[in-house]
Amino acid sequence: MTPERWQQISRIFNKAISLDGEERTAFVADECGVDQNLRSEVEKLIAAHSNASAERFIGGMAAEKAASYLLDENELEPPAKALNEGQQFGSYEILEALGIGGMGEVYLARDSRLGRTVALKVLTLEVSRDERRMKRFRQEAKVASSLNQPNILTVYEFGEVAGLTFLATEFIDGETLRDHLHENKLKLGEILDIGIQVLAALDAAHEARIVHRDMKPENVMIRHRDRVVKVLDFGLAKVAEKKSLKKDEASEAATAFKTAPGTIVGTINYLSPEQARGDAVDERTDIWSTGVMMYEMVAGTIPFSGATTSHTIVQILEKDPVPLSKLGNVPPELERIVEKAMAKSPDERYQTAKDMLIDLRSLKKRMDVEVEIQRTSPTMSIAAVDTQEVASQSKTRVVVLALIAMAIVTAAIFGVNKWRSTRARSVAPATAPVAVNERTLTYWITVQKFRDKKPFQDPFTIPGEMIFEEDYQIRLSFSSPQSGRLYILNEGPAVTTAPEFNVVFPSPTANKGSSSISAGQVTQIPGESWLQFDAQQGTEKLWLVFSEDVVPELESLKEFASRQTQGLVTDPARNKMVQEFLQTHSEAKPAVEKGERLTTLKSSGKLLVYPIKLEHH
Amino acid sequence: MTHESNPPNITQLLAEWQHGDQSALDELYPLVYDELHRLARRYMSRERKGHTLQTTALINEAYVRLVGQKNVHWANRSHFFAISAQIMRRILIDHARRHAYAKRGGGAQQVSLEEAAVVTPDQSGELLRLDEALKSLAEMDPRRSQVVELRYFGGLNNEEIAGVLNVSENTVTRDWNMARAWLYQQLGGSAAN
């Protein structure tokens, strides 16, 4: 509504409510003339005004309501915690109370046998005595502990100490997807990351014939440290017998939402149509709920939501949600995937989590390639870094050709092929004109996680923002639409003494020892292996210097580049020279554009100097 | 936290803010927030049942405590009320949100379905929706939105609001009527009285 329209409506409205009956009707009719729309707006407001007065709408003070919240907040604090900090509970030492729920209390604890930190869920006595709820709790423990998959919360132990029943699980320092959605508008890349991990979890569960039956954002946890997603709460999960669960078990899930007749309860918005009807359910019910979650992540709103439970259920059963493409710039393929997951009939959905997982993975891969081309090819607008835009743009022939060229590179990034050496890869037409007095450099970091000294999960790509664990290994990749000289120096986190520099690039093993890179070339460092962090924690700086011409101060450092010394610049005078050079030239900071997986730096002039900061613990 | 023995110079900050210094508001905000929050909780714990929280009394007390009896000037006081209304709104919405969350079990790990199912229909959702609608209103019509804020969250009457906004009482009445009708419509007519 335009401000003028708003003012017009309020003027008529205010005058009208001071009049009565026929006088009012005549006035409104007169003022609005032939503008039926205006008249209807005004009349609706007048009706709202009457009702609001009659109902004393916002007639009191908000604080009167708030009073009860302030009180409730007190009441929601644990009345009496079962366990205290520092207390020993079986072989667990209680570190901290994390929260309280209807079932019991959750503590952060240390398992003194294995020295690991766990989340300890201790049931209230009341719950322990309730056979029905205990059954469910045991079920959760049994099911989850039988599943061993990185995206499923690991259950360590289920037992009893001093009459208190407990469940020890992996501790996730993170937030639920619900909280995350509450605080953020998710980017496409992140949505796909989450969806892929959720489906990987479901795929493992379904392989074991286990149906979760209660997938919703509250049951998806995202770890702060590395954004790994964990699916929680297999408390309602069932082992699928034959193809479908028995009907009474299915309706148990549906009735779990019902309390007193007519009362609105819990989260019904993720129920599948078959759950809502109380029909038999199978794995495909989880596909539905995951589709609903993905829809919510993309749209920022849930697809089915009515004023009451019955309204919502009617929507779930009968209504098609607003197409995602109507809600924003959504890649058609993603819309197709989500719609297929949310087909009303289970037979029309993805039949397995694996099928949906494959579609999401290939969409993600495709988008990464496109973003990369967008970044590295100067023929395209680099400003369009938003993957949503990128993915939905119609592609020119140039891009299609480039896609083929890039596929090789991307395959390497995703660990499908092993990168054999840092050889130049010609990407896309690389000769397009670029403003002379500008330097552009794109970089990204590929991260390989390690667990127990073994590579853990597939390598993934980030634009540079992450806290790295000590045993993570990384690769750096660079590309520019321009040719030029690239130098990379590592400045360690030491603060007490003068900074030390290590030559990272060029080196005998990278780019054949030459600092010269050509336009469109993708350079990976190191060529074959990975960079490891040393034990010294803190922030590592990787100084990037990208210049149109040779930089004599840095070019001469080549002699220090050797594997044995890790490129350490041992000559104090040269070290000082480097320090001064970087200090002088880093004052003109380049513009930094961070994308989903790549960062693009742009500086005016013939020289670009920028420190990538890598924090590691 | 503020200390009784050493009240921060609220009068000064108010005057600075009044003269257009936004950083003064940044300093004021947390001071007033803490004080109002503390008082509100104390009021409530004292009168656990029955209880209506008299916003005006609360803000008055906060004002006297922060500014001190001697320095009370109406002009300052009306500005203090304007800020306080905004802050009360923030406090109440924060609490409503936390409340809605805690009830949903958002705070604890591994919330099970059953815990979610004990949620009884409560009003925190309505207050949150009102807050959202009020934000939309502010985009179209900041003054009308502020009238609602001052009255509903700050507990001011029309005369006081007129003083704060420097408009006539009639204007306040008209603004209120329009804003209330519009909000009622936005909230689908649910009674958040």
Give the nearest chain A residue to B93 (CA atoms). Answer: A66
Note whether residue A60 is domain-resident: no
- Specify the DSSP class assigned to residue A80: S
Q: Which of A61-70, A405-414, A575-584, B2-11 has the highest mean pLDDT?
A: A575-584
How far apart are the C-alpha atoms of A11 and A286, rounded to whole Å? Answer: 53
Given a cut of 90, whether residue A230 has pLDDT beyond it is yes
Query: Chain B residues with CB inside 8 Å of A66's CB?
Result: 40, 53, 88, 91-92, 95-96, 127
Note whether residue A392 is domain-resident: no
Question: Among positive and negative, which fits the CA dihedral A458, A461, A467, A470?
Answer: positive
Q: How confident is the model at residue A436 (pLDDT cuts 50, 70, 90)?
A: low
Two structure tokens written together for A164: 């208190």
What is the predicted pLDDT for the residue at A402?
A: 35
Mean pLDDT in chain A?
Answer: 76
A91-139 pLDDT per residue, tens: 999 988 877 655 667 888 999 888 888 988 887 766 676 676 677 677 7
Query: Chain A residues with CB inside 8 Å of B105's CB?
Result: 101-102, 218
How far apart are the C-alpha atoms of A16 and A18, rounded to whole Å? Answer: 5
- Between chains, do B106 and A218 touch, taking CB under 8 Å as contact? yes
Query: Does A10 lie in the same domain as A95?
Result: no
How far apart are the C-alpha atoms of A68 and B48, rounded to whole Å? Answer: 9
Note whether residue A11 is domain-resident: yes
Of A216, A550, A524, A46, the residue nearest B182 (C-alpha): A46
How far apart are the C-alpha atoms of A601 and A608, rounded to whole Å? Answer: 8
How far is B28 from chain A, CA to nearest CA, in Å?
Answer: 21
Q: How confident is the model at residue A431 (pLDDT cuts 50, 70, 90)?
A: very low
Given a cut of 60, whether residue A318 has pLDDT beyond it is yes
Mean pLDDT of B75-96: 77
How far is B116 from chain A, CA to nearest CA, in Å?
Answer: 5
Q: Which residue has the higher pLDDT, A392 or B79?
A: B79
Mean pLDDT of B119-138: 74
Query: Chain A residues with CB inside 8 Å of B123's CB?
Result: 65, 68
Q: How confident is the model at residue A392 (pLDDT cuts 50, 70, 90)?
A: very low
Query: Does A417 lie in the same domain as A564?
Result: yes
Mean pLDDT of A426-443: 57
Lowest mean pLDDT among A7-16, A246-255, B24-33, B156-165: A246-255
How far apart are the C-alpha atoms of A207 and A592, rounded to whole Å? Answer: 44
What is the predicted pLDDT for the residue at B149?
A: 92
CA dihedral A450, A453, A457, A462 (to 10 degrees): 20
What is the predicted pLDDT for the residue at A312?
A: 78
Lowest mean pLDDT among A6-15, A72-81, A205-214: A72-81
Other beta carbons less than 10 A from residue A205's beta carbon: 26
Give the nearest chain A residue to B153 (CA atoms). Answer: A62
Given a cut of 60, whether residue A523 has pLDDT beyond it is yes
Q: Which of A203-207, A259-263, A603-607 has the highest mean pLDDT?
A: A203-207
Lowest mean pLDDT among A60-64, B156-160, B179-183: A60-64
User: CA triplet A261, A267, A272: central angle to 5 degrees?
Assistant: 95
CB-closest option in B88, B114, B180 to A63: B88
- Between chains, do B121 and A3 touch, taking CB under 8 Å as contact? no
Mean pLDDT of B153-170: 88
What is the predicted pLDDT for the residue at A561?
A: 74
Of A385, A466, A470, A478, the residue nearest A427 (C-alpha): A478
State the DSSP string of chain B.
---SSS---HHHHHHHHHTT-HHHHHHHHHHHHHHHHHHHHHHHHHT-SS----HHHHHHHHHHHHH-GGG--HHHHHHHHHHHHHHHHHHHHHHHHHHHHHHHTTTSSS--HHHHHTPPP-SHHHHHHHHHHHHHHHHH-HHHHHHHIIIIIT---HHHHHHHHTS-HHHHHHHHHHHHHHHHHHTTT----
Give the nearest chain B residue to A119 (CA atoms). Answer: B109
Mean pLDDT of A438-467: 76
Query: Does A453 lie in the same domain as A584?
Result: yes
A31-49 pLDDT per residue, tens: 998 899 999 999 999 999 9
Mean pLDDT of B169-184: 94
Q: Supply the pTM of this predicted model.
A: 0.42
Distance of CA A559 to the CA centre of its chain: 43
Q: Which residue has the higher pLDDT, B141 or A437?
A: B141
Q: How confident is the model at residue A179 (pLDDT cuts 50, 70, 90)?
A: confident
Note whether residue A544 is domain-resident: yes
Structural domain for A17, as ranges: 3-54
Q: Which residue has the higher pLDDT, B78 or A26?
A: A26
State the DSSP string of A206-242.
HHTTEE----SGGGEEEETTT--EEE---TT-EEPPS
Q: Which of A81-90, A208-217, A343-352 has the highest mean pLDDT?
A: A343-352
Query: Does A255 lie in the same domain as A143?
Result: no
Query: Chain B residues with CB inside 8 Å of A177's CB?
Result: none
Of A474, A12, A118, A125, the residue nearest B181 (C-alpha): A12
Mean pLDDT of B141-161: 89
What is the predicted pLDDT for the residue at A258?
A: 33
Residue B131 and residue B183 in contact, taking contact as beta carbons nearer than 8 Å: no
What is the predicted pLDDT for the residue at A42?
A: 92
Given a cut of 90, whether residue A284 has pLDDT beyond it is yes
Note whether residue A402 is domain-resident: no
Given a cut of 80, whether residue B50 has pLDDT beyond it is no
A214 is catalytic: yes
Of A302, A248, A257, the residue nearest A276 (C-alpha): A257
CB-closest option in B106, B117, B152 to A61: B152
Given a cut of 50, whether residue A437 has pLDDT beyond it is yes
What is the predicted pLDDT for the residue at B178?
A: 94
How far apart are the C-alpha atoms of A576 and A501, rounded to whole Å? Answer: 10
Query: Chain B residues with CB inside 8 Å of A14's CB?
Result: 174, 177-178
Percent of chain B with pLDDT over 90: 16
How far is B182 from chain A, CA to nearest CA, in Å?
Answer: 6
Q: Which residue has the higher pLDDT, A357 or A140?
A: A357
Q: Which of A297-301, A522-526, B22-26 has the highest mean pLDDT?
A: A297-301
Q: How confident is the model at residue B124 (pLDDT cuts 50, 70, 90)?
A: low
Given a cut of 70, whether residue A408 has pLDDT beyond it is no
Query: Does A552 lie in the same domain as A448?
Result: yes
Give the nearest chain A residue to B152 (CA atoms). Answer: A61
A236-267 pLDDT per residue, tens: 666 554 344 444 444 444 433 332 222 223 36
Mean pLDDT of B151-157: 86
Mean pLDDT of A472-483: 80
Note whether residue A395 is domain-resident: no
Task: Please state, in angstroms and as integers, the Cα–Cα distance from residue B96 to each residue in A68, A384, B93, following that order.
Answer: 9, 39, 5
CA dihedral A12, A13, A18, A24 (to 10 degrees): 70
Amino acid at B50: G
Mean pLDDT of B109-118: 30
Q: How confident is the model at residue A296 (pLDDT cuts 50, 70, 90)?
A: very high
CB-closest option in A176, A178, A256 to B114: A256
Note whether residue A393 is domain-resident: no
Query: Does A182 lie in the same domain as A155?
Result: no
Question: Among positive and negative, which fits the CA dihedral A47, A53, A57, A58?
Answer: positive
Note whether residue A399 is domain-resident: no
- Between chains, do A236 and B113 touch, taking CB under 8 Å as contact? yes
CB-closest option in A68, A74, A101 to B111: A101
CB-closest option in B52, B120, B177 to A67: B52
Q: How confident is the model at residue A67 (pLDDT cuts 50, 70, 90)?
A: low
- Specify the DSSP class assigned to residue A568: B
Q: Which residue has the higher pLDDT, B8 or A460?
A: A460
- Do the interacting molecules here have an ipTM over 0.95? no
Q: How confident is the model at residue A64 (pLDDT cuts 50, 70, 90)?
A: low
How far apart are the C-alpha atoms of B177 and A57, rounded to whole Å? Answer: 11
Q: How confident is the model at residue B71 (pLDDT cuts 50, 70, 90)?
A: low
Give the nearest chain B residue to A236 (CA atoms). Answer: B113
What is the predicted pLDDT for the residue at B115?
A: 30
Q: Which of A214, A233, A282, A286 is catalytic?
A: A214
Give the residue extent of every domain in chain B.
10-186
Mean pLDDT of A137-158: 82
Query: Does A130 lie in the same domain as A196?
Result: no
